[in-house]
Amino acid sequence: MNTQTFIFGSLLAIYSSILMAANHNGPTRDEKIQKIVNRCLESVENGHGVLRYTNRESSDYIFKDNDEIHIKIKIQLRYQLSFTDEKFTQAKILIEEAKNFIREFYAQHHLNVEIKLEHAKFYRNSMNPYPRPTSNAHIVYIRKEMGDAMSVLTWGVNFQWDPIMRGQIYAHEFSHLLGLQDEYDTPRATRIGEVDNIMRNWDAPKPKLYPHQIKQIISPLCPRIL
């Protein structure tokens, strides 16, 4: 065996060792989440829990059905009066699209989220068609801009934004309705999340939820998994 062959063989062995070590660093984030969900499914029969987080009058349910964890939530969207009929229609379409993005985002985390949206213009007088929450819905106010307008119960509509970026913003804000907190560096943040954590960086490429967040969301159904 010549020196060149020996060196090449040694490097190949080192590379193989690195790959094997990388594959034995423990379960991946998704595997951990799947395990948490499976543990929850195994611990309940046909039970359900009530989610009560950001809106004291809301009544959102989490339950097991057909070996899946389902979350039902109703959101009553109140649009500013300044929306023209045309922009109102466009905004409704954008947010319905965002609803589908949110459902797909949570589906990849093994949760089936059922979102019902109610759309209405908001008048600050007796003509308001929704003077009170209907059927214990969350109330979310819709503004024309985003950025500083975005909060747990105030969402913005920017007609120029990329659909994926808009969907990720709404997925971040929607997650607050399920009890998740911001995980970026602010006085209100309870912890600092990973760089691709959607509660830290909603604009990260393909942001994700993490096991501790899944545990928090499904804890009303499976409190023993915490």
The whole-angstrom separation of Cα 13 and Cα 38 is: 38
pLDDT score at 184: 80
- Residue 49 CB contacts under 8 Å (≥ 6 apart), including other chains: 61, 62, 63, 219, 220, 221
Taking a C-beta distance cutoff of 8 angstroms, is the pair 75, 177 a contact?
A: yes
Name the residue with higher pLDDT: 93 or 192: 93
Lowest mean pLDDT among 70-84, 90-104, 140-154: 140-154
Question: Residues 204-215: what's their mean pLDDT?
Answer: 92
Q: What is the pTM of this model?
A: 0.79
- The structural domains of the chain, ordered by start, are 28-225 (3.40.390)
pLDDT (tens digit per residue) in 11-69: 444 444 444 444 456 789 999 999 999 998 988 876 667 665 555 555 688 888 888 99
Smallest Cα–Cα separation from 218: which of 44, 74, 28?
A: 44
Give ∠ CA 126-120-70 in degrees, rounded to 5: 125
pLDDT one-digit tens code per residue, 156-198: 888 888 888 889 999 999 999 898 988 887 666 566 778 889 9
Q: In angstroms, rounded to a whole number, what is the distance separating the alpha carbons of residues 208 and 108?
A: 9
* pLDDT beyond 60 at 149: no
Residue type, 187: P
pLDDT confidence of residue 12: 44
Q: What's the confidence (pLDDT) of residue 111?
A: 95
Which pLDDT band holds residue 123 (cuts at 50, 70, 90)?
A: low
Are 156 and 149 within 8 A, CB to CB? yes
Q: Specify the pLDDT at position 89.
A: 93
Determine the pLDDT at residue 195.
83
